[in-house]
Amino acid sequence: MAANVLDQVRAAAAKKVLYLPHAVRQMSRPSRMISPAEVDAAIAAGELIEDYPEDVRGHSCLLLGSGDSGRPIHVVCAPKPDYLAIITAYIPHPEQWSADFKRRK
């Protein structure tokens, strides 16, 4: 099931990537400054760490990828038929996540 969701994410991203306003605000915060290239890298090579099939916005998931200098990046996205919606992207906080940033504390 997880691989299927990741396949859907990557197939949707190949068509178009749409950044929702919340994602743009979060990515633009001076303390994190996440580039679209980092999000693209997380989509292309990242790992699915949480799946939200019942999300009110539609099926979405959380990916863990590596950003600039190998920093961890979390990307919440929702595959749609014609595009991938980027709901948010952020740098996971070490106090809230396991050492590998894959599990919530």
pLDDT in tens, the chain (105 residues): 466 999 999 999 999 999 999 999 999 998 889 999 999 999 999 999 999 999 887 899 999 999 888 999 999 999 999 999 999 999 999 999 999 999 999
- The residues, any chain, with a CB within 8 Å of residue 98's CB and separated by 6 or more, are 104, 105
**Do the Cβ atoms of 76 and 38 come closer than 8 Å?**
no
